[in-house]
C-alpha cells in the first residue's frame, strides 16, 4: 500500500514544474494516452517533421530547382539583400547530407534547427512507442520571452552572415 507522501513524490516526478519568481512557468506531463495514435496531435507533428526531414534530404535531387537561380524570397527580390531566413533550406539540405561547412555558409542556424528537429522527431517516436502523450503548458510570458529571444538570435545570425559571407549567399 502506498502512502500519501509517496503518491505526492510520484506526482512531482510525473509533472515537472519550473517556476521562477517573475511568473514564468513551464509544465510538462507525459501521461498514458488513451487515444489512438492517428488521432493524437503528436502524430501530426511527427508526420510534419518527417516530411520536412525527407524534403531536406531530397532537395538537392530535385531537377533544376536548386541550381535554377530563381529566388523564392520576396524580400530579397525587392531589396536585393537576403532576409533573416534566406539560405535556411539550402543549409538544412546540406546538413541532411552532413556537409556542415556548406550548411553554416548558407545559414548559421540551419544545422542547429535541423538537429533540434531530429531530436524532436526521435522524442515523438519514443512517445508513441511508450504509449504516452505530451501535455505542455507554457505561460504567456515565457512564450513572449522565447519569441523575442528567437528573433534576436535570427537577427544576430543574419548580421553575422552579412559580415562574414556577404549578401550573395
Say what the alpha-carbon torsion angle 38, 44, 45, 51 is, to the nearest 10 degrees.
Answer: 110
Closest CA to 113 of 98, 134, 91: 91
Domain spans of the chain, in order of start: 37-164
Residue 64 confidence (pLDDT) above 80: no
Per-residue model confidence (pLDDT) at position 17: 47
- pTM for the structure as a whole: 0.74
47-57 exposure pattern, b = at least 16 Cβ within 10 A, e = fewer: eebeebbeebe
Residue 110 has pLDDT above 50, yes or no: yes
If phi > 0 it is left, if psi is from -120 to 50 it is alpha, else beta; for residue 166 that is left
Mean pLDDT (whole number) for 147-158 = 95
Q: pLDDT tens across 3-45, in order?
A: 555 555 555 554 544 444 456 688 888 888 888 777 778 888 8
Could you tell me which residues come within 8 angstroms of residue 43 by beta carbon, excluding any fewer than 6 positions away? 37, 124, 128
Q: How far is Cα 119 from Cα 3, in angstroms, rounded to an integer?
A: 37
Amino acid at each position: 500500500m502506498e502512502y500519501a507522501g509517496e503518491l505526492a513524490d510520484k506526482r512531482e516526478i510525473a509533472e515537472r514544474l519550473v517556476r521562477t519568481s517573475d511568473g514564468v512557468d513551464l509544465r510538462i506531463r507525459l501521461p498514458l494516452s488513451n487515444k489512438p495514435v492517428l488521432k493524437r496531435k503528436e502524430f501530426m507533428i511527427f508526420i510534419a517533421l518527417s516530411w520536412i526531414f525527407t524534403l531536406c534530404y531530397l532537395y538537392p535531387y530535385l531537377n533544376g530547382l536548386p541550381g535554377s537561380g530563381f529566388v523564392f524570397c520576396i524580400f530579397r527580390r525587392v531589396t536585393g539583400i537576403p532576409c533573416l531566413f534566406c539560405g535556411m533550406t539550402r543549409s538544412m539540405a546540406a546538413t541532411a547530407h552532413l556537409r556542415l561547412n556548406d550548411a553554416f555558409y548558407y545559414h548559421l542556424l540551419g544545422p542547429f534547427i535541423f538537429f533540434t528537429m531530429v531530436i524532436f522527431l526521435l522524442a515523438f517516436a519514443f512517445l508513441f512507442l511508450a504509449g504516452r502523450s505530451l501535455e505542455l503548458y507554457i505561460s504567456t510570458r515565457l512564450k513572449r520571452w522565447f519569441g523575442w529571444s528567437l528573433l534576436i538570435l535570427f537577427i544576430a545570425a543574419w548580421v553575422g552572415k552579412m559580415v562574414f559571407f556577404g549578401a550573395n549567399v
